[in-house]
Structures are given as structure tokens and as C-alpha cells.
Structure 1
Amino acid sequence: MKPLKPSSAASATLLAACLAAGAGCSSSNTGSTTASTTTEATTAAVTTDAPQPPAAQKIPKELTTHGDTRIDNYYWLNERENPEVIAYLNAENEYTEKMLAGTKEMQQELYDEIVGRIKQDDASVPYKDKGYWYYVRYEEGKEYPIYARKKGTMEAPEEVMLNANKRAENQSYYAAAGLDVSPNNQLLAFGEDTVSRRKYTLRFKNLKTGELLPDAIPNTTGSAVWANDNKTVFYTMKDPALRSYKIFKHTLGTPTTQDKEVFHEADETFSTYVYKTKSDRYIIIGSASTLSNEYRYVDADNPNGTFKVIQPRERGLEYSVDHFGDKFYIVTNKDGATNFKLMQTPVSKPGKANWTEVIPHRDDVLLEGIEIFKDYLALQERKNGLSQIRVKSWSNPKDDAYIDFGEEAYTAYIGLNPDFDSKELRYGYSSLTTPYSTYEFNMQTKERELLKREEVVGDFDPSNYEAKRLYATADDGTKIPVSLVYRKGLTLNGDNPTLLYAYGSYGSSTNPGFSSVRLSLLDRGFVYAIAHIRGGQEMGRQWYENGKLLKKKNTFTDFIDASEFLIEQQYTNPDKLFAMGGSAGGLLMGAVVNMRPELYQGVIAAVPFVDVITTMLDTSIPLTTGEFDEWGNPAEKEYYDYMLSYSPYDNVAAKGYPNMLVTTGLHDSQVQYWEPAKWVAKLRDMKTDDNMLLLHTNMEAGHGGASGRFQRYKETALQYAFLLNLLEQQNQ
């Protein structure tokens, strides 16, 4: 399902932009009525040299909606505390390990190669805020970042605010989030997750003494927003379904039982968050659903004041809020501005009746966001599928410039710019051949300076690689952008191994950026391709609208059309074409292999959202209620029927499927582990081929996989070895 939206609070924080198998798997021929009886039938021993896959017990469960009954034989796998479930997941892990045993050396080689390209003692580009220079650095051999600062100048002594390596000791998983320093520079707020369910405990540290304060607030989103009194913080609490639903106010040094609830988002289709404006003048509470927003504000100097609504929510009215001077600046789709426009309104009269236009709507340009300075306005835009950064002078309308990036396929984004008075715009840039780079653009002189480019350790030379932007044609005539990268010297003979990746949901655009990890495939002859399919927002807001709800199948057919295009253009062939997607992109993989399995030699489906209807009918599952405007509500028959027509789990059939590696995490809060587990069990029971079907469950992690800087690449090495092993088998 949907990746958690980074709230505006995340973008407002100072450091946000930095950087043994068990028994109990039972025969699929054994029936039962309750999961508790699964111990009665265990996997029969088979005398053969080949590893035998586990077969999950079939326990039929009838699921009836709108008079339609579906039989789910593997529904019982959602019992997280059932030992039989854990035993099955462990048995699948053991089977995967045995099937890929011959790739152990290759996996280690890939892992060493990937990690070997990473500069271990690296640091981010420092930025200045309230008299301090802030940065994140890494030490050689350490998995986690060190958050530090220096006062006044980078020559001053270092102050370590948080050493995540020490906090992570004796933890199988650790993530720090939402680091934010108080206005007087003396206190640090931060969140910690040690389970990977994205339920953070808020903690506070005295930066002068190094003392960790006794205040600890569990079950939050991980960030706190400081009022200007340096003792009051606002934070967001999660409900049992992990929806961000309440905003509380806490005073340091007081029991959390005395915290005051200041806002309750009662509508289950909305989530809520809190942030502080760049001006430090206002604390903003936001509420968001797929199609609507609402914001309220209070003076940061008066945290006990009453929050006032800027513009009450209206279905279909989307807007976001920032502040400068005596005005709020509003990016909105008001009055049919599909690609959004920029408005301003007096703080004293913020309702939409008083919104006046600053940047008009444009049919061919999507306005993604803004960055306000005293003398300039920076705009994050997207045109023809590519990012643009535009800089305008407040005082001189003719002073309007776009930054020239000079490559065919790239990504660019506005970075962290906390200083209103600056004439320097910090931005990030990358392409399929250019490592991530941090620049400063002088908005007055129009000159730019490269501050840092990610170092790729070893003999990497960008001139050895070539990137292209091509267009596939969909069945309905729509042009689908495809970004490609490969090592120079490629012969278009239809015989190149190719990995095609896509996401295609939630209006999330897949940018063609650099990956040093990907070099391990490119240097072995792979073409890497990104299909910018509908459901994302690469080609404007309508690109998203045409890939969701009752048009969701466009996402799947676009990917298939892009696959056929790569074959037609002689980049590859079905025996050497591989596909990959994760989360909602995993749903894409599930739909595609049901529709056109013969197009792909192998598929990697990471944390795949594949049991669409059952999940969307269960409002107790995290994120479900906020998803109805993305997928539809199956409680309505029209959406039920449409979702049923593509839901990967419901459409598994007795036919051949590609080789498949499916990954998940036991503690995943976004796509619950049982979706891929059930899907694999059903595929294993019904498919008619002899291709590999592997399920790998990280028993200690969630949606994002392992924590730490390097451990996550163990799974990447596994995925790459899976692909390379399939190629080796073809050549034998």
C-alpha cells in the first residue's frame, strides 16, 4: 500500500533533509476449519536431491461481499502470533536459502562490491541555522549516522547531538527520526523506532549537558514541533491502525498523562500532522486525505492559544500552506487548477475567498512546491516528466530564470534552505549517470557552485555509461516515458539482460536518479530501465488521475507496453527481461504476471500489496481508510467488481508464471507480511510451471527492510544474485 506521506513537519525539522526454520508447514492437500489444527498435518518428507518447497495448509474461509463469495484458503496466515505462521515463514526462508545456496559466494561478492563503493567516513554538506552549522557524518565500519553541529564556524569544536550507533547497540532494528533543535539551540527532540512498525518514542536531550531528559512519549510519528518558549512541544499520536489521528501538547518536565489533546482527526479517511512554518511564526496542524486538505494555525509565541482554521476542508480541494511576512502562501488546485497554482492570502483573513493568484495554473507544468526567500521565490515544477527549478524575483517580474541541468534524463529538487535572507538556493541534482550532487545557485548572479558530489569509491567513471529517454506507445496512443541506462558499447541485438522497474501509484513520480548499487548490474551487461507509467505524476496531475480508481489498469498495461517496446527496440527479449517493483509497485508486479507472464524471465516483487480487496475491506489494517480515494472502496459494488478484476491474489490461475522472488518484513506496517505470504502459497499450489518461486521474510524488519547503512544491501545482493543466477542457468 501507500508509503507513509512525509508530513510537512518532516520537511520543517532541521535535520530532515540529511541524510532456523520451524516445523509445522502442512500438506496442501489437507483441509481443516481452524488454524489451530495445522499442527496435525506437517510437511511430508520427500526423498529427492532437490529442495522441496513448503506447502501451507489450506483452511478454507468464505469471504462474502455483494453476494459474491471468495474462498481464501490461506486467510489464517494473518495470525501473527500463531506459531504455525512463524514456522511457515521460517520454512519458506529455509527453502529460499537452499534454492539459492549456489549463489552464496555471488551474494557475498555483490555485497562486498556494493558496500565497497560507499565512502564509509562520509559527511553531508553542512547548512547554517540560528548560528550553528549542522551536518550528518558516518564513521568507517559503523551502520548508523552521527548527527552533529558546530557553532559559528566549521572550524569550531564539534558537538555530537546524537550518535545513532550508540543508541542502536543491542537492537536488532533501530531508526532515529524527526531530529529538531529548540529555538534557543539548547534542546534536541528526536524519535526512535526499535521494531520497524514506524511507531516512534519521542525523546529529548539537553545539548549543553548531554543529559537525556526523562520525558518519553511512545506511539508517535517520531517528530515534535517546538513552540518558541523552548519548553512546549506538539506531537502526533497514532491510533491502533497506525493512522496519525491526534495532536497533543506536552510541556517538558511534566507527566505525559497531563498532555493536552489539541486536535482529533475523527474522519478515518484523513490523517493529521503538525509542523512549524519556515518563518518560525506559526505552528500549523494539517489534515490530509487523497483528495482534500485542511489546515489550522496558532502563533508559535502563544502555544496555549486557540488554533484557527485557514480554509475548511472541501472534497476535491487540495492545498498546502507556508508563511512569509503578513501572508500565507497556498499551493492549490482550486477552481480546476489540475496542475496546481500558487495563491497568497492575508494571515488575518486566510479563507479561500481572499486567495489571490501569484503563479497561474498551466496545463503543461505541474507545480510541486515552493521555497520562499525575502527577495526571491523558488518553484519546484515538473514538465514532460522531468523536474524543473524556477527562480523568480519578488521585486522584478522580468527576473525569472530556470536552472539548466544539461542532461536528457535527471532529477533535481530544492534542498534545505532555512534562511529567509539568503540569496543562495541549495538544491540537489542527480541523473542516471551523475551521482547525487549538492549545489548552491546564486539567485542574484545566476551562478551556481557544486558543493559536494557523492563519491563512488573505486574506478567509477560516468563517461562509461549512457542514459536515454525514450517513449513507448500505449494501446490507447498515450506516450509512456522510459528512462534507460547501460554501459556504453551496448549492441541492440535483442539479447541484453534488462531490468525494468516501475511504481505507478499515489501520484509518486519515479525520478531517474543515480545509484552506485545499480553499477553491479550495469557492469555485468544489464540495461536498467524505468517505466514512468500512469498512476505516478511525471507528466502532470492528469497522469495520476488516469492511473487510479476505475482507471487503475492503465498502470499495468502501460508497464506491459513498455516491456514490449524494449523488446521491439531490440534491447532485450522475454528470456532476458526482468521486472521489479515494491509496495504498490509489487501490486503492479502481481497484476502483470497474471496478465502477461510470458514476457518476463524473472520478477522481483518487494513487500507487494497483492490482496487488494480483503485488505481494503479491513479498516483495522493500517492505512486502509485513507486509501479509498486511491483504489476505491470495495464496500461499493462498482469498485469491488473492478478491484476483483485485477487483484493479484484473487486472479492467480493454473498457468505458468515467471521465476519469482517475493520479499516481505514480519513487522511491515504498510503491506502486512501475510499478503505476500498468502500470494506465494496460492501461486505455489496453482502454478503449472517448474520455475522458481521464492519467499524471503525479514523476521526483524518492516516495510523499509533492515536498518543500518550497510545491512540493507544484504537483501539487494540476494535480489541481484537471483537475477544473475537465472542468466547463468540459461547459459548452461
Structure 2
Amino acid sequence: MTADATTPELLVPHPAPRVPTERTHHGDTFVDHYDWMRQKDSPDVVEYLTRENSYTDAVTAGQEPLREAIFSEIKDRTQETDLSVPARKRGWWYYSRTEEGRQYAIQCRVAATDTGDPTRDWTPPAVVPGQAVPGEQIMLDGNDLAEGKPFFSLGGLAVTEDGTLLAYSEDNAGDERFTLRIKDLASGELLPDEVPDIFYGVAFSPDGSRLYYTVVDDSWRPYQVKAHVLGTPVADDVVVYQEDDVAMWTGFEISADRSRLLISIGCSEYSEYRVLDLARPDAGLTTLISRDERILYDAEPVTIAGAPHYLLTHDRGAKNSMVSLVAADQFARPLADQEWTTVVPHDDAVRVDGLSLTRSHVVLSVRRDTIERVQVLPLAGLGTPEQFLPAEPDFDEELFTSNLANAEFDSPIIRLSYASYLTPPRVYDYVLEDGSLHLRKETEVLGGYDSTRYVAERQWAPAADGTLIPLSVVRRADLVQDGSNPAVIYAYGSYEVSMDPGFSIARLSLLDRGIIFVTAHIRGGGEMGRTWYEQGKKLAKKNTFTDFVDATTFLAASGWVDEHRIAAMGGSAGGLLMGAVANLAPEKYRAIVAQVPFVDALTTILDPDLPLSALEWEEWGNPLTDPEVYRYMKEYTPYENVRPVAYPRIAAVTSFNDTRVLYVEPAKWVAELRRTTTGPEPIVLKTEMDGGHGGASGRYSRWRDVAWDYAFAADAVGATARMTDTPQ
């Protein structure tokens, strides 16, 4: 951790000015000395963050060779010129490709042919990286769009049913506010229609005459679904639906059969659907189940025996959710009088996450034994005694993830993605009629990757209350269980989000330096079902933090890991986790990397005008109205619980334009940590001045961000050199 000897002044951080600001709630006053950093437009704030970046650069200058080595390893192992497997929609095969040396993907298509043979017609054309694809049409080149811009990200892509128009949205600041444009794919010209400041998600009506999109309010909450009629002024765009409850999130999708616009309004505990018949858009919205019933559900229209029905994935009397079939006319009746037919019953051991639909099958996403899986159920006989049992594609690894990648409504196949800690991403086509799997692609890892050189296994760490916490442990197969190995432990643990098994080229750089990489599936995530999530939210949130500490204790006693060579890593809500465990057990970690960390959660959630604050009440509780929630949150919020102990070396990594976790949270946290710590370890703040919540844009920029984080952790645990027998 040394810097250039010619710049010794940079090795001493400038103390942040302390300007007291009082915040009083429920009779408790908290004095915040760094709230002045919230003034984003202030030259003093920009100067402070710039100075902090210089300090971080100086303190970590010794890691630059390691960062470059890791970046080069990522680059050298990646097939830079590559293509996705084409996916068919109507008369075209759509795919994206990347080219060596270029940051962004290129969106392409080629014409499809119909021979009358479904197998042949739905078999994707063979495409080879680096070779021209006959008949290719470039729809959108992200490299051209990003030229001369500090940031570039696509927010949505949509093509009309007839394939003539492309709608896309782009963000050039990193604040996740997008501008919508429409391109004529025949001429390559942009239409005059341009809609600024929209949110993610764009969809054409089936006839291509209008576009649906969402808009966020001042607190960055998606609250409106609007319709733009092509060729009309944006000022005339109609609000199809507006949600005024500040605690509810609004989104939309077009149903699989293209008959309905489905507007979903909800939080983490209950939801509501408003439905627009796209054949009669002037008829207005109808409500399926009111939010007043406090049911958390998703809905998909389906035609059964010629009559309109809905498939509901819901938690009515089913904590882990189930699937029911309901005739559309039932929703006009009181809930207690409605007739629902069970399609997939509730199971305490299986979480039903949702479903998709084709003309002939229901495709289920379920989670069992922490693993996400796909199941397929024919529509024939659905909801009757003749209903078939769900079929599940068979894979031979213990720890894997299988997701539905694409289910075109009229297709006889569905597209599946598959990955594990050891297997690079694969793409399969699953034939609905006979259940056969066809491997279409496995991502190539250059440099002679050999999966047998590594081991991935499940371990279980006991929490203090006796709960067993699943851990996914990945390591080199030739490591010795002698208690000397370094480790990085990673987790998230919020919003019922699961950290599922997946392959990472970047992670190989840690494994090949002898680091054991551990993902802790702590409470607050969704790996073990709905109860697992509920045991890590609101007034049970501390379980998330103590689970992580208990998992660390288990690792230190496992015989594999040196207790003095453990680094912790997490981002966003996982960054809040990093801040909490730093306060709870600073002695257990050699280093902590907190990525866009939500470390000033109480201050943020107490201000409903800040981005997303009101939406957080269903996750953490509402400290504005509930003094018990306020007290409980104040006991764990990282910024307010910094104490005079020897903290490990800490890196807080953030982005100036992040709208989800404002830069001010880690900036304040680092200032307070540095003022209070009794130890000698450096505590640094790294701010991406042009990035958003995901960091910088462009794949090479992202690789450098990962290399920076990994180098910080690897340097701290003394694992900078590759093992001598690393596969080449």
C-alpha cells in the first residue's frame, strides 16, 4: 500500500470539514457533521471527492501492477469478438455481437425462413465469432451511439411485430433516466418522435401504432405508464395509469399472447394488476385483485377451452407462492366468492417465483434447495384431473442456475440459460413436445480453462440461533486444508434477492491466487424461500448481519482458511451489510470492499423525497411513523454506529450520478470512519465521476472496476501472486 515517493502529501488524507446539522425524530436528535456533502452542485463537494480520488490513487498505487494483471487476465480469457445465440421473433432472428477492442454490443438480425418443418424453422442459424453473417442487418451499434459521450447505457429495446421499427432508450449520464428514440429499420433513419426522461422498459402495441413507457417522479419512483402515438407530439402522450401511493412501484408488460397491457403496482408484500385490452384501448383499465386484499401476485392471461382466464402466481394462503387458474369473469365477484383452481400447489420446500407462457405450455420458475430451476407444464388438461405433472430439464451439477431466457409465444421450443460456478454460461433449446435439450452454445474461456482444477461445494454454517446458513464455496482443487489459505466472503442479503451460482471469468483471477471465494446465502435473501427473506427484513434485519459474521467465524474454524486473511465484499444493500459487519466484528476482516454502499440508510429512509426512500419502507420498516423501527434501524445503520475501534482497511466505491445509493452515503461514512478509527489501516473513497449505480459504462471499463476491487482485496490478504501450476 505504497505511493510514489514524489507525492508524500497525497498519502495524508485531508480531514473533511465538520459542519453540524441536527436531525430529530421520536425525541431523538442525531448530529450529522457531514451532511454538507449532500450538495452535489457545490464546487466544494466536487473538489472534496476529487481530492479523495487522488488520495485513493496514492494509497493504492502499489496495487496498480496487480490491477493490470487481473484486468489482462479477464481480457485474455474473454472471447472479445463474440455473438449471442439468435432468438426468433416472427420473421427475424435477433442477436447481439461484440468486437475486440470495442466497448459496447452491436444489435443485429437476419431474416428467418419458414419451411413448414417446426424443428428446422426454429433451429437458430449457425453463427461463428469473427465471421460475417450472410444477410446481417445492424439495427443498433452501441459504439457509434456512445461516441463522444461520458456514459452510455441502453434502457430498453423493442421491435414492432412486423419488424419495421425499432424503439430504444439510452442514458448518457448514469442517472438511469433515458431518452426514447424510434428507428425505421428499412431506411435506417430516426423518426422525429423523441421522448426524454423515461424509465426502463419500452413496448410497442401489437399494431405498432403506439409505444408504452414508464416515467419516474422526483424521488425516482416509477409512477406513470404512458402511451405515445407515433407521429404525434410528446406533449400529447396519454397517461394510461398513475400511481400516487409513494410506497408503491409501477411497471408494465405486454402479455405473452399480445392481447393485454398488464400494469403491475406493488411492493414486496402485496400487489395489484390493472389490465388494458389492447384490442379496445379506449375501454379503459380493469382491476384484477385489489391491493386492499393484501395478496402478492403476478398475472398472465391465458385462453382455456375458448374462454379467457388468468394464471396467477400468488401467496394467498401460500407463503412460498402457488399457481392458480381463474376465469376472467371471476374477478368481478368478491374475493371470497371467486372460484380458483389449483395448478401448482403450495410446497414449504419449493418457492414458486413466477411463470411464462407459450401457446402450448406453462413455463415455471421455481427454487428448491436454494437452486433456481425451470419446469414445464402442458396447457392441455390444465386445472383438471388430467393435468400433466411438471417436467424439469435434468442437469448433473449440484450447484447451478437454470433460467428461462426466451419463450416466444408461438415457438415449439423455449430457450434456457445455464451456468454454475465451474461451467461457463450455456444456452440450450428445450423442445416442448418431447423434453429434449439441445446445446446451442457454451461460452468459451480462452487460455485453456479446465474446470477440474476447481471445486465448488455447499457447506452449512450455524448461526447463533441455530439456523444453518448455506455457503457456496469455490476454490482451487489443489489447495491444502492446512488453515493457511486466504478467503473472500461475499453476500447481499436483502429484498429476497438470491445470489445464485454463476460462472465468472474475473473470479478465476482470485482463485488462481489461492483465494477461497465464498458466497454466504444469508437471511434477507431468497435462497431458502419466503420465510428466509422475512427473517432478514424489518425488525429481523440484524439476522442478515449476524449471519454474515457467523459464516465468517465458521470459515475461520473450517481448517481451510487463515482467520487473519479474510476479506469481505458486498454492494448496494450488500454494502450496508459491509458497513454493519465492520462495526459488529472489525477484527474478523483484513479488508472490506463496499461497493455503492447503502451505509446511511436511516437518514435516507427518513426523507421520502430522496430517491426510492418511500419504497424502502416495506423492506426496512417506516422509521418516520414507527419509533420502534427508528430505534432498531439506528442500532445497526453503519454511519451512525461507527465507533472507536481498529477498523480493517476499507474501500468504499461509489458513483457520482448513482440515483439508487447517493454518493453522499459512502462519502460521509468514510469521513466518519477515518476520524474515529483507532487503527492504522487506510480507509479510502473511490468515486466514479461519470458512472451510475453499476459503475462506469463499457465492458473494458467494467473490467477495470472489477480488477480494482479484486486487487484491493487480494493485496490485503497477501494473495498477489498466481499459483505456480495455474492452468495456462
Task: Tell me the TM-score normalized by structure 1.
Answer: 0.91
- 1:722 aligned partner: 712
Matched, 1:440 2:422: no
Matched, 1:133 2:133: no
Which of 344, 365, 373 pairs up with 2:358? 373
Which of 654, 661, 672 pairs up with 1:664? 654
Q: Which runs of 5+ in 1 are unaligned?
A: 1-45
What is the SS of the residue equivalent to 1:222? coil
- Paired letter, 2:147: E
What is the SS of the residue equivalent to 2:57? helix
- 1:91 aligned partner: 51
Contact 1:512-1:530 within 8 A present in 2 as well: no
State how 1:42-61 maps to structure 2 within 5 Å: 51-61=11-21
- 2:152 aligned partner: 174
State how 1:568-587 maps to structure 2 within 5 Å: 568-587=557-576
Matched, 1:388 2:369: no
Q: 1:680 to 1:59 in 2, by over 3 A?
A: same
State how 1:72-87 maps to structure 2 within 5 Å: 72-87=32-47
How far is the alpha carbon of 1:392 from its aligned partner?
2.4
Distance in 2 separating the partners of 1:295 and 1:693:
47
What is the SS of the residue equivalent to 1:331? strand
Contact 1:331-1:342 within 8 A present in 2 as well: yes
How far is the alpha carbon of 1:402 from its aligned partner?
2.3
Matched, 1:261 2:239: yes
Residue by residue, what CA displacement relative to the aligned partner does 1:697-728 show, whole Å, maximum 9, x if unpaired? Answer: 00001111011121111111111221232234
Residue by residue, what CA displacement relative to the aligned partner does 1:208-246 show, whole Å, maximum 9, x if unpaired? Answer: 111111111111113322122311122111111111111
Distance in 2 separating the partners of 1:545 and 1:713:
35
Distance in 1 separating the partners of 2:379 and 2:224:
38
Matched, 1:201 2:190: no
- 2:398 aligned partner: 408
Which of 689, 695, 701 pairs up with 2:685? 695
Contact 2:513-2:720 within 8 A present in 1 as well: no
- 1:361 aligned partner: 346
- Paired letter, 1:82: S
What is the SS of the residue equivalent to 2:343? strand
Contact 1:497-1:527 within 8 A present in 2 as well: yes
How far is the alpha carbon of 1:388 from its aligned partner?
2.2
How far is the alpha carbon of 1:358 from its aligned partner?
1.2
How far is the alpha carbon of 1:573 from its aligned partner?
2.5
Q: Which runs of 5+ in 2 are unaligned?
A: 1-5, 114-124, 126-132, 381-385, 722-728
Contact 2:157-2:168 within 8 A present in 1 as well: yes
- Paired letter, 2:448: D
Matched, 1:428 2:426: no
Distance in 1 separating the partners of 2:45 and 2:520:
36
Contact 1:189-1:223 within 8 A present in 2 as well: no
Distance in 2 separating the partners of 1:710 and 1:354:
54
Distance in 2 separating the partners of 1:49 and 1:306:
66
Contact 2:260-2:277 within 8 A present in 1 as well: yes
Aligned length: 684
Contact 1:502-1:532 within 8 A present in 2 as well: yes
Distance in 2 separating the partners of 1:724 and 1:639:
38
Distance in 2 separating the partners of 1:136 and 1:730:
36
Distance in 1 separating the partners of 2:348 and 2:664:
42
Matched, 1:229 2:214: no
- Paired letter, 1:195: A
Q: 1:730 to 1:654 in 2, by over 3 A?
A: farther
Residue by residue, what CA displacement relative to the aligned partner does 1:611-642 show, whole Å, maximum 9, x if unpaired? Answer: 11110111111111111010011111010000
- Paired letter, 1:700: D
How far is the alpha carbon of 1:459 from its aligned partner?
1.7
Contact 2:655-2:693 within 8 A present in 1 as well: yes
Matched, 1:211 2:182: no
Residue by residue, what CA displacement relative to the aligned partner does 1:387-433 show, whole Å, maximum 9, x if unpaired? Answer: 222222333645532222211211111111113341x2321111110
Matched, 1:332 2:310: no
What is the SS of the residue equivalent to 1:654? coil
Task: Tell me the TM-score normalized by structure 2.
Answer: 0.92
Q: 1:421 to 1:121 in 2, by over 3 A?
A: closer
Distance in 2 separating the partners of 1:96 and 1:715:
14
- 2:122 aligned partner: none
Contact 2:513-2:719 within 8 A present in 1 as well: no
How far is the alpha carbon of 1:285 from its aligned partner?
1.4
Residue by residue, what CA displacement relative to the aligned partner does 1:244-298 show, whole Å, maximum 9, x if unpaired? Answer: 1112121111111111122110101012122100101111111111212111112
- Paired letter, 1:132: W
What is the SS of the residue equivalent to 1:415? strand
Q: 1:582 to 1:176 in 2, by over 3 A?
A: same
Distance in 2 separating the partners of 1:727 and 1:505:
27
Which of 141, 152, 165 pairs up with 1:187? 165
Distance in 2 separating the partners of 1:421 and 1:454:
24
Matched, 1:317 2:295: yes
How far is the alpha carbon of 1:589 from its aligned partner?
0.5
State how 1:584-599 maps to structure 2 within 5 Å: 584-599=573-588
What is the SS of the residue equivalent to 1:518? helix
Residue by residue, what CA displacement relative to the aligned partner does 1:31-82 show, whole Å, maximum 9, x if unpaired? Answer: xxxxxxxxxxxxxxx9967710121100011111111111111010000011
Greater Cα offset, 507-516 or 285-294: 285-294
Contact 1:232-1:249 within 8 A present in 2 as well: yes
Contact 2:567-2:716 within 8 A present in 1 as well: no
Distance in 1 separating the partners of 2:688 and 2:437:
44
Q: 1:444 to 1:261 in 2, by over 3 A?
A: closer
Contact 2:494-2:573 within 8 A present in 1 as well: yes
- 1:549 aligned partner: 538
- 2:106 aligned partner: 146
Contact 1:227-1:301 within 8 A present in 2 as well: no
Contact 2:484-2:561 within 8 A present in 1 as well: yes
Q: 1:233 to 1:354 in 2, by over 3 A?
A: farther
Contact 1:290-1:627 within 8 A present in 2 as well: no
Which of 433, 453, 460 pairs up with 1:464? 453
- Paired letter, 2:693: H
Which of 532, 535, 539 pairs up with 2:528? 539
- 1:706 aligned partner: 696
Greater Cα offset, 428-437 or 291-300: 291-300
State how 1:581-620 maps to structure 2 within 5 Å: 581-620=570-609
- 1:683 aligned partner: 673
Which of 130, 137, 148 pairs up with 1:159? 137
- 1:508 aligned partner: 497
- 1:64 aligned partner: 24
Greater Cα offset, 304-313 or 654-663: 304-313
- 2:383 aligned partner: none
Distance in 2 separating the partners of 1:730 and 1:239:
46
Distance in 1 separating the partners of 2:436 and 2:201:
36
How far is the alpha carbon of 1:102 from its aligned partner?
1.6
Q: 1:704 to 1:575 in 2, by over 3 A?
A: same
Greater Cα offset, 236-245 or 368-377: 368-377
Greater Cα offset, 153-162 or 586-595: 153-162
Distance in 2 separating the partners of 1:713 and 1:381:
32
How far is the alpha carbon of 1:105 from its aligned partner?
2.0
How far is the alpha carbon of 1:730 from its aligned partner?
11
Distance in 1 separating the partners of 2:111 and 2:331:
38
Contact 2:154-2:168 within 8 A present in 1 as well: yes
How far is the alpha carbon of 1:110 from its aligned partner?
1.4
Q: 1:558 to 1:658 in 2, by over 3 A?
A: same
Residue by residue, what CA displacement relative to the aligned partner does 1:469-491 show, whole Å, maximum 9, x if unpaired? Answer: 01111111111000011111111
Which of 316, 323, 337 pairs up with 1:342? 323
